[in-house]
């Protein structure tokens, strides 16, 4: 409510002088339902009040919905002054006070003797369960296992006030060694560890006593009120710093994983302590965030030596190695993912085929706009066979061994061969590195080298012979200002 700007002199005297700092109780009536505020101090300015239902067992939406008029009053007990009126502008909004905890973070530990599940949450609304005891039942559920444990508000959380105490608790844990149901606890941990995509549901239940009519006699009955939270984002309590956020670059017939190294402070020592004998990267992609539609998964083996080497890692997965019956369609799907797609990658460490560590690695997928097919090198020029989905002037930097070539290409849509003259004779063709175009990685490019051949005499190709090798190039195409 806002102060009126059409008050009479007497009304201004009452509202802006007499009632200032006096206490009042506000009341709103909608049909038979009544809502009242606690005692509130009047300041004369804008009012923003919350009116709880007078009888919490009798405030029903069905009884409020038919009415279009609300009656309100502010009663000042000192001078017996009442300000009242009607409002035809109100709306009903339903709040679920049992859906009050979100932003769940779940961590697990499956090391022998240390099995546990740790949960932290944040309050996104006021939790109102009105418990009548300090008992808290916590149930951990997966798709195939569950375990319920009992906690005490007083003994486990040192909270003596039982009025909506669940509002004050945001850390929940299940430590297998502390429980009599150790096997059931370990089963939950194992399920969360072994499944790449698993939903963990945590139910928080408190006791609530209400009156029940049994044959005309009111009797106390205890029921459970449940707050339910769930997450698919489950991490390992044991973490390693092996990788930075990674990227997959997709072309028409292959994908290239670019994996930059992390700080590598505890990476090697942690993996070695686990006595690992196998490491893999597991990529999972789904068309939608609920895992519906197109679904793709691929495992990429990786060694400890590769992980701990200095420099970026590159893994190429061509059609021949893809876990798919139709790889062309699969790569097409990967190139056209929408914003609500699910993109996951896990780094897994195994020992004797048992999973000892599973850690998510941030992953992004980029569809390449330029794809090199081949490169022909003559004595006097270099020609690139490219497929482009853009039309623009681009700067090309081509490095072969220790020789650098820089030139400008005007790229057109579709396939094309682009040539540039060179004035330096190539003498060495050692493998150098990976190919980057517009900061997009491609795979190894086959290079045909025509020895002692000038490109303007076609018949020299037959005379000089052809040597075909495959090298790794670095082609960096930087955006040019038009």
pLDDT tens digits, one per residue of 70-113: 888 999 988 788 888 887 666 555 556 777 888 888 999 998 89
Percent of the chain whose predicted confidence (pLDDT) is above 70 = 81
What pLDDT sits at residue 207?
Answer: 85
Q: Of the given ranges (173-187, 266-280, 358-372, 450-464), which has the lowest mean pLDDT?
A: 450-464
pLDDT in tens, 293-327: 999 999 999 998 898 887 788 888 877 777 667 78
CB atoms within 10 A of CB 411: 21
**What top-level class would CATH report for the domain 239-367?**
mainly beta
Four-CA torsion 315, 319, 320, 323, nearest 10 degrees? 80
Asked whether residue 438 carries a pLDDT value surpassing 70, the answer given is no
Q: Report d(CA 446, CA 422) in Å as an integer.
A: 19
pLDDT of residue 458: 38
- Of 182-191, 208-217, 449-458, the least confident: 449-458
How far, in Å, CA of 300 to CA of 319, rounded? 14
The reported pLDDT for the residue numbered 348 is: 93
Alpha helices in 285-435 (DSSP H): 304-307, 327-335
Report CA dihedral (249, 251, 256, 257) to the nearest 10 degrees. 30
- Helix runs in 252-366, H state only: 267-273, 304-307, 327-335
Percent of the chain whose pLDDT exceeds 90? 21
β-strand pairing of 440-442 with 435-437: antiparallel
> Can you tell me the mean pLDDT for 209-214?
70
**Neighbour-count burial for 390-404, b at 16+ CB within 10 Å, e otherwise:** eebebebebebeeee
What is the pLDDT at residue 454?
A: 54
Give start-end residues of each CATH 2.60.40 domain in the chain: 239-367
- Contact partners, residue 345, CB within 8 Å, separation at least 6: 246, 281, 282, 283, 284, 360, 361, 362, 363
Summarize the confidence of residues 25-29 as an average pLDDT: 91
Q: What is the mean pLDDT of the chain?
A: 79
């Amino acid at each position: 409510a806002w102060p009126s700007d059409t008050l009479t002199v007497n009304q201004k005297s009452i509202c802006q002088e007499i009632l200032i700092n006096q206490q009042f109780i506000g009341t709103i009536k909608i049909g038979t339902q009544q809502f009242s505020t606690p005692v509130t101090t009047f300041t004369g300015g804008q009012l923003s009040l919350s009116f709880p239902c007078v009888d919490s067992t009798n405030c029903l939406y069905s009884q409020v919905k038919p009415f279009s008029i609300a009656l309100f009053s502010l009663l000042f007990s000192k001078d017996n002054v009442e300000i009242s009126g009607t409002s035809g502008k109100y709306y009903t909004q339903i709040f679920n006070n049992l859906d009050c905890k979100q932003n769940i973070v779940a961590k697990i530990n499956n090391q022998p003797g240390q099995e546990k599940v740790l949960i932290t949450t944040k309050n996104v609304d006021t939790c109102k369960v009105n418990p009548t005891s300090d008992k808290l039942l916590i149930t951990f559920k997966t798709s195939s296992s569950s375990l319920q444990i009992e906690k005490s508000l007083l003994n486990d959380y040192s909270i003596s006030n039982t009025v909506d105490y669940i509002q004050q608790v945001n850390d929940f844990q299940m430590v297998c060694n502390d429980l009599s149901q150790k096997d059931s606890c370990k089963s939950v941990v194992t399920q969360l560890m072994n499944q790449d995509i698993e939903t963990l549901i945590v139910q928080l239940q408190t006791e609530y006593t209400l009156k029940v009519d049994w044959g005309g006699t009111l009797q106390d009955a205890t029921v459970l009120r449940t707050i339910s939270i769930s997450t698919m984002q489950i991490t390992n309590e044991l973490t390693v710093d092996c990788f930075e956020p990674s990227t997959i670059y997709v072309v028409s017939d292959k994908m290239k994983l670019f994996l930059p190294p992390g700080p590598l402070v505890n990476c090697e020592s942690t993996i070695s302590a686990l006595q690992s004998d196998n490491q893999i990267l597991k990529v999972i992609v789904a068309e939608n965030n609920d895992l519906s539609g197109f679904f793709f998964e691929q495992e990429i083996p990786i060694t400890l030596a590769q992980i701990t080497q200095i420099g970026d890692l590159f893994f190429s997965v061509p059609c021949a190695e893809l876990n798919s019956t139709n790889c062309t369609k699969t790569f097409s799907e990967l190139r056209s993912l929408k914003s609500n797609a699910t993109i996951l990658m896990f780094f897994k460490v195994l020992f004797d085929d048992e999973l000892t560590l599973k850690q998510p690695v941030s992953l992004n997928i980029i569809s390449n706009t330029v794809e090199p097919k081949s490169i022909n090198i003559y004595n006097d020029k270099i020609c690139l066979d490219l497929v482009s989905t853009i039309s623009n002037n681009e700067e090309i930097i081509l490095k072969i061994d220790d020789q650098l070539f820089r030139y400008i290409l005007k790229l057109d849509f579709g396939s094309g061969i682009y040539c540039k003259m060179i004035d330096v004779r190539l003498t060495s063709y050692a493998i150098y590195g990976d190919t980057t175009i517009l900061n997009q990685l491609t795979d190894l490019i086959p290079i045909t080298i025509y020895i002692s051949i000038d490109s303007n005499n076609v018949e020299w190709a037959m005379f000089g012979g052809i040597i075909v090798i495959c090298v790794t190039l670095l082609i960096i195409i930087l955006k040019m200002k038009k």
